[in-house]
Amino acid sequence: MAPRAPPLLLLLLVSAAAGSCGAALGDPAGLLRRAKEAEFVDWVVGVRRRIHENPELSYEEFATSELVRRELEAMGIPYRHPLAVTGVVATVGTGGPPFVALRADMDALPMQESVEWEHKSKVPGKMHACGHDAHVAMLLGSAKILQEHRDELQGTAVLVFQPAEEGGGGAKKMVEAGAVENIEAMFGIHIFDSVPIGVLASRPGPVMAGSGFFEAVVSGKGGHAALPHHTIDPILAASNVILSLQQLVSREADPLDSQVVTVGKFQGGGAFNVIPDSVTIGGTFRAFSKESFDRLKQRIEQVIVAQASVQRCSATVGFLEPSFPPVINDPELHDFFMKVAGKMVGPGDVREKQPMMGAEDFSLYSEAIPRTYYSFVGMLNETRGPQAAHHNPFFTINEDALPYGAAIQASLAARYLLEHQQHVAAAAKVEPRDEL
């Protein structure tokens, strides 16, 4: 085997004489130009529309997974399948360390699409209303770019196509299936409705909240509504529980430590003149730190049980799994992202994103990978008219954003491998291998 050129020398040589794809792998702006070429755009838009027409819910992404595998095969990229039922993990590069991962989620939502257009969902009651169709298309676009420059890669880019982000804990299943073994760093992106087109956004530290769900059954004694003194009213008890839960944030949480407790489920009774035996309530709680999240969970149970007993009722409380810890961006990877993104779109179009109370199971990868980072690709173009928010039946994708997502992921992976190959070489001489 011929000795590898030192990474810095290799980068200089590649930059001086870019290949047939028109851009060196170490040139983020050049990779964006490649992703904006007409044939590339037509292809990635076509992939996204095919996925959009055939939305599939969590762990049912069989057609989406098959489409991903067909496209990877057409590019000559090896992959493993299935992982976590429908998941796919592909690799581009030497097959040896360092290993860096890129992730896309594949599942849709149980919603009826209200947007009338040529590529509307063909499946009643299912819709890609969060942009996961765009995420898959963008990661396949990144795969195409990386594969075109595979001989320049200084390590291995691992492409993770994950099922069941929308509450199914697909990230956890992928970790358990061995999808991210030996990964040093992982990057995830989300297309976003309120970030302008051409802008890349993120922040260090907490970027999305930890999320948990609870359900409680408040039990009393049913009877005739005209004789309440013969009953123990669980509706009254549950109502007091809900009011007390709101005080966990307003009176117990630091005002500078954002938290949320919301009751979104209340079920009990079926007649106007009957007090039921029990009432079921349920909701969600969110926080930006593990400490605050764990405290909320503990206090939710205490408040429900205690407040029910004040009204002579009993209560049982359960917490749904999996819960999702906060998405917390590694500070060093943030500096790295700012550098790469700035070279791609210019420093003025790399902006800080305020934290969101929404949750993302990307956070579960941080339990298995030393460093993780999550960012946002803007798609807002006000000249196109109002942009519906995510999880809305009128949600649409500005497909002009797809090249940006494809290019930034490819650039992050390639640059990370280049910079960290030197550390691998200094630590030990490792022969390339096929497995992770």
What pLDDT is attached to residue 156? Answer: 98
105 sits in which H/E element:
strand 99-105
Percent of the chain with pLDDT over 90: 89
User: Sign of the CA dihedral 244, 245, 248, 249?
Assistant: negative
Determine how β-strand 259-267 pairs with β-strand 278-287.
antiparallel
Mean pLDDT score, 117-130? 98
* 14-28, 248-262, 350-364, 376-390: the lowest-pLDDT one: 14-28
Res. 61: pLDDT tops 90: yes
Q: Which tens digit of pLDDT belongs to each residue from 288-338?
A: 999 999 999 999 999 999 999 999 999 999 999 889 999 999 999 999 999
Percent of the chain with pLDDT over 70: 92
What pLDDT is attached to residue 432? Answer: 53
Res. 3: pLDDT tops 90: no
Confidence class of residue 82 from pLDDT cuts 50, 70 and 90?
very high
Q: Which tens digit of pLDDT belongs to each residue from 181-201?
A: 999 999 999 999 999 999 999
Mean pLDDT score, 77-93? 98
What pLDDT is attached to residue 385? Answer: 85
The closest alpha carbon to 172, from 422, 366, 352, 434, belongs to 366
Task: Give, in order, the Cα–Cα distances in Å from 35 to each of 138, 343, 367.
Answer: 10, 15, 33
Task: Output the pTM of the full model.
Answer: 0.89
Vertex 193 angle, CA 64 and 350, to 5°: 105
